[in-house]
């Protein structure tokens, strides 16, 4: 219930008939508007086409595969750190960061200034020549990764990076088969669609030759899970009798992984790819020891291990700079994108000298990867993360938000699970906690739309689009969290009141 309205509602409700009581409660909640934190930034006045013309152009000239959020799609005009402004000047708290891409904040002054200077100096030469920024950036990026991950190949997107990682794995091992998790998203290119295991992205054309999926060790929705499985301030509501240092769920999921190795792939494989926390599938976390044991099994089969850090990298996990570090593993290849450029299109594959050398047997070239402009942007992002203390902020503010959201899980039956680490958070919606059936789309849509109308933008994910994805710019504050949680609380209360009134 929104703060400040409870006593009034329940006091008046005792004097109303049941129908009038429900109507009064609904009207009161509809009129409640949580107060947005102040912001001293003033956006420029919007001067482009009217909304209706923009919508018409979108319908006629933009591919229909590029779907938009919300019944009335947003027309965004400007951004400042954790805030977005629409064409009418309305302000929104951005909890999705351009699909987990804006790492240090919209139009961060340091990144903007560095980009402007480089734009006036040199945009592009391609990497057939040396230019200062590619060497400087490669040194700065690899200094943040453990040995032997010291060789960089720069690309333009996460799909490109994962595509190249697959290629490298196959060249280096001289094997072909690669394993990924069900529920994984590793890209939308024809090659990476074999690794992506979410039906919504499958187009009914041939893909995935040499790619096998294995059971997702999801301790909330999967067959096994308990109350101590995952590396998160918030555990599932499932109970277990595991003693300290023992995880029955992990053991069961490892057996399933072994079964995949014994039945679905040859005796030798090219590799295994996994996100440290699944992104598109709704911040799904695995048992703490799973990846460490899985990596060992893969290497016994001659394969290499790929960590997809497209969403989990660059301090978002809070406790560590890279997601794989939270699992106490060192992969053979790391793929990076999204937050690497704070919205600028760049990505990277980082690997060992030996694996990288396999690609040098013949020519392999990326025209725009590692451009002077991209490398300057990437370096400025790394500086901003360090200078603004954003990894620590992710840990502190993310933990605070997880614990606040967990209170809503304990209060509302439709909030099935709250999970995540740092500022990579998922809130899974269900009809009830016993069945864990996904909440129907129309009900989730209403909560989602209500949050937007109150000024908070949240992502969606999961196999049934049943999970709210909360992955804001890492500059978000605790005051922003208080506002966002109050908005979400109000939207949930409205949903429950509306359901009760039917």
CATH of the domain at 293: 3.40.640.10
Q: Report the pLDDT value the prediction gives residue 20, as an integer from 0 to 100.
A: 39
β-bridge pairing 211-214 and 347-351 = unpaired
Q: Does residue 145 sit within a domain?
A: no
Domain enclosing residue 265, as ranges: 174-302
C-alpha dist (Å) from residue 309 to 72, 195, 321: 33, 15, 10
Percentage of the chain with pLDDT > 70? 94
Digit-coded pLDDT (tens) for 434-489: 999 999 999 999 999 999 999 999 999 999 999 999 999 999 999 999 999 999 99
Which tokens hold the place of 498? 């509306």
Residues sharing a CB contact under 8 Å with residue 309, sequence separation 6 or more, in sequence order: 275, 276, 322, 323, 324, 334, 335, 336
Instruction: Tell me which of 248, 267, 302 is where a domain ends.
Output: 302
Nearest to 490 by CA among 13, 26, 73: 26
Task: Count structural domains, the chain.
Answer: 2
Q: How far apart are CA 163 and CA 310, in angstroms?
A: 13
Q: Does residue 153 sit within a domain?
A: no
Percentage of the chain with pLDDT > 90? 86
Q: Report the pLDDT value the prediction gives residue 319, as an integer from 0 to 100.
A: 98
CB distance 189 to 211 below 8 Å: no
Nearest to 471 by CA among 318, 367, 324, 363: 318
Residue 482: give its domain's CATH number.
3.90.1150.10
Lowest pLDDT segment from 5-9, 157-161, 496-500: 5-9
Check pLDDT > 80 for residue 39: yes
Q: Does residue 37 sit within a domain?
A: yes
Q: Does residue 82 sit within a domain?
A: yes
Q: Is the dihedral of CA 331, 463, 102, 377 positive or negative?
A: positive
Instruction: Tell me which of 302, 326, 352 is where a domain ends.
Output: 302
Instruction: Tell me which of 260, 283, 302 is where a domain ends.
Output: 302
Q: Report the pLDDT value the prediction gives residue 25, as an integer from 0 to 100.
A: 43
Q: Does residue 131 sit within a domain?
A: no
CB distance 291 to 274 below 8 Å: yes
Which tokens hold the place of 368? 């725009």
Q: Does residue 329 sit within a domain?
A: no
Q: Does residue 112 sit within a domain?
A: no
Lowest pLDDT segment from 57-71, 159-173, 251-265, 327-341: 57-71
Check pLDDT > 60 for residue 28: no
Q: Report the pLDDT value the prediction gives residue 204, as an integer from 0 to 100.
A: 86
Q: How far apart are CA 107 and CA 90, in angstroms?
A: 18
| Three-class SS of 62-123 | CCCCCCCCCCCCCCEEEEEECEEEECCCCEEEECCHHHHCCCCCECCHHHHHHHHHHHCCCC
Q: Which residues pair with 349 in a beta bridge?
A: 153, 335
What confidence category does residue 8 fall into, taking pLDDT thresholds of 50, 70 and 90?
A: very low
Q: Does residue 399 sit within a domain?
A: yes
Q: How far apart are CA 426 and CA 418, in angstroms?
A: 6
> What pTM, to 2 d.p., does this model score?
0.92
């Amino acid at each position: 219930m929104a703060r400040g309205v409870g006593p009034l509602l329940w006091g008046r409700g005792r004097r109303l008939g049941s129908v009038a009581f429900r109507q009064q409660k609904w009207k009161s909640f509809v009129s409640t508007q949580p107060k947005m934190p102040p912001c001293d930034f003033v956006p420029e006045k919007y001067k482009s086409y009217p909304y209706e013309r923009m919508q018409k152009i979108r319908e006629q000239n933009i591919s229909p595969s590029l779907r938009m959020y919300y019944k009335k799609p947003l027309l965004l005009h400007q951004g400042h750190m954790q805030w977005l402004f629409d064409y009418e000047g309305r302000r929104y708290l951005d909890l999705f960061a351009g699909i987990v891409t804006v790492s240090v904040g919209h139009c961060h002054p340091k990144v903007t200034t560095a980009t402007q200077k480089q734009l006036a100096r040199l945009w592009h030469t391609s990497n057939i020549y040396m230019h200062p920024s590619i060497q400087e950036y490669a040194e700065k990026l690899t200094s943040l990764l453990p040995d032997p991950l010291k060789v960089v190949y720069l690309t333009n997107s996460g799909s490109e990076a994962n595509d190249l990682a697959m290629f490298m794995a196959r060249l280096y091992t001289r094997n072909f088969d690669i394993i990924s998790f069900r529920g994984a998203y590793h890209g939308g290119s024809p090659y990476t669609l074999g690794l992506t295991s979410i039906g919504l992205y499958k187009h009914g054309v041939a893909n995935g030759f040499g790619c096998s999926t294995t059971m997702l060790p999801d301790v909330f929705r999967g067959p096994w899970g308990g109350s101590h499985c995952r590396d998160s301030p918030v555990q599932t509501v499932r109970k277990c009798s595991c003693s300290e240092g023992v995880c029955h769920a992990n053991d069961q999921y490892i057996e399933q992984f072994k079964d995949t190795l014994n039945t679905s792939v040859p005796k030798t494989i090219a590799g295994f790819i996994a996100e440290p926390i699944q992104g598109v599938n709704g911040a799904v976390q695995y048992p703490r020891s799973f990846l460490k044991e899985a990596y060992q099994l893969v290497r016994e089969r001659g394969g290499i291990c790929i960590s997809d850090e497209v969403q989990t990298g660059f301090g978002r996990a809070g406790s560590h700079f890279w997601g794989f570090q939270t699992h106490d593993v060192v992969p053979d290849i790391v793929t990076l994108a999204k937050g690497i450029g704070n919205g600028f299109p760049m990505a990277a594959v980082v690997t060992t000298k030996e694996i990288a050398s396999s690609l040098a047997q013949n020519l392999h070239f990326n025209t725009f990867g590692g451009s002077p402009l991209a490398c300057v942007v990437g370096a400025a992002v790394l500086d901003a993360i360090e200078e603004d203390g954003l990894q620590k902020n992710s840990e502190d503010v993310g933990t605070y938000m997880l614990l606040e959201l967990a209170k809503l899980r304990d209060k509302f039956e439709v909030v099935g699970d709250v999970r995540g680490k740092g500022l990579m958070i998922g809130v899974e919606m269900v009809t009830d906690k016993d069945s864990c059936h996904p909440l129907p789309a129309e009900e989730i849509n209403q909560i989602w739309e209500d949050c937007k109308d109150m000024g908070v933008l949240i992502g969606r994910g999961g196999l049934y689009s049943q999970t709210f994805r909360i992955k804001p710019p890492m500059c978000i504050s605790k005051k922003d969290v208080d506002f966002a949680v109050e908005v979400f609380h109000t939207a949930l209360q409205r949903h429950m009141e509306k359901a009760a009134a039917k």
